[in-house]
Amino acid sequence: MTREEAWKLVTEHVQSPRLRGHLLAVEACMRHFAAHYGEDEETWGLIGLLHDFDYERYPQTPDHPLQGERILADLGVPEDIRYTICSHVDAVADRYPRRSLRDRVLYAVDELSGLVVATALVRPSKSIHDVDVAAVRKKMKDKRFAAGVNRDDVVRGAQELGVELDELIGMVIAALRAAAEPLGLTGTAASGQ
């Protein structure tokens, strides 16, 4: 599946601009981490882009991700890609335990990318370029902020990946900065940076 085909699938299944933005943010993170680890950026990016494409139609687990996995299988998406996508949902972890670096990275960046984006959007500039690790850690402590972000998953993601939480947050910030323009996170201050 090409990136264009994946995006077409996303636009057919996802109407929410917020969810589309999340998929693009996770795609950017997956590409960044693939480059960091010397892995295939295209495949990792596709996984990030597709990981929640079924969520709007099937928001309850285990329908999400299993209905999406079925759709992807019907489209001929390779089993290893489908496996990684399924592995990011704890409710199906008995069937799809996270076994590879790619599985662990997707899990680690999924919730965290949402928290980082939310942190950027409440900055006066609305720019990812004005976000640092300390700002994300501060927002992470406020359970009312971005309440849909599972903080336990963020912490567990860093642990499973074997990196310090601050390092993981810094890498996600870097990934999102590199994709700031298409993600709409350049804000008002980014033009001078």
Q: 35-74, pLDDT tens digit by residue? A: 999 999 999 999 999 999 999 999 999 999 999 999 999 9
pLDDT tens across 134-181, in order? 999 999 999 999 999 999 999 999 999 999 999 999 999 999 999 999
Which CATH code is given to the segment(s) 3-180?
1.10.3210
pLDDT tens across 99-120, in order? 999 999 999 999 999 999 999 9
What pLDDT is recorded for position 187?
A: 86
What pLDDT is recorded for position 190?
A: 40
Q: Give the integer Cα–Cα distance in Å for 155 and 46.
A: 24
Q: Give the integer Cα–Cα distance in Å for 176 and 28.
A: 6
Where does the pLDDT of residue 189 fall: very low under 50, low under 70, confident under 90, or very high at 90 and above? very low
In three state form, how does the secondary structure of 65-110 look?
HHHHHHHHHHCCCCHHHHHHHHHCCHHHCCCCCCCCHHHHHHHHHH
DSSP, collapsed to helix, strand or coil, labels residue 182 as helix
Would you put residue 128 in left (φ > 0), alpha (ψ -120 to 50) or beta? alpha
Measure the CA angle with vertex 125, ends 22 and 172; round to 5°: 40
Q: Are 76 and 52 in contact (CB under 8 A)?
A: no
What pLDDT is recorded for position 20?
A: 97
Where does the pLDDT of residue 12 fall: very low under 50, low under 70, confident under 90, or very high at 90 and above? very high
Q: Are 114 and 22 in contact (CB under 8 A)?
A: yes
Q: Where are the domains of the chain?
A: 3-180
Q: Give phi and psi for 137, each to the nearest 5.
A: -60, -40
Average pLDDT over residues 14-34: 97
Residue 193 confidence (pLDDT) above 60: no
Q: Give the integer Cα–Cα distance in Å for 29 and 179.
A: 9
What pLDDT is recorded for position 192?
A: 39
Q: Give the integer Cα–Cα distance in Å for 7 and 53.
A: 10
Q: Give the integer Cα–Cα distance in Å for 20 and 15.
A: 8
Average pLDDT over residues 84-113: 97
For residue 153, count other CB atoms closer than 10 A to its CB: 17
The amino acid at 124: P
Average pLDDT over residues 8-35: 98
- Give the DSSP per-residue string, 55-66: TTT--STTHHHH
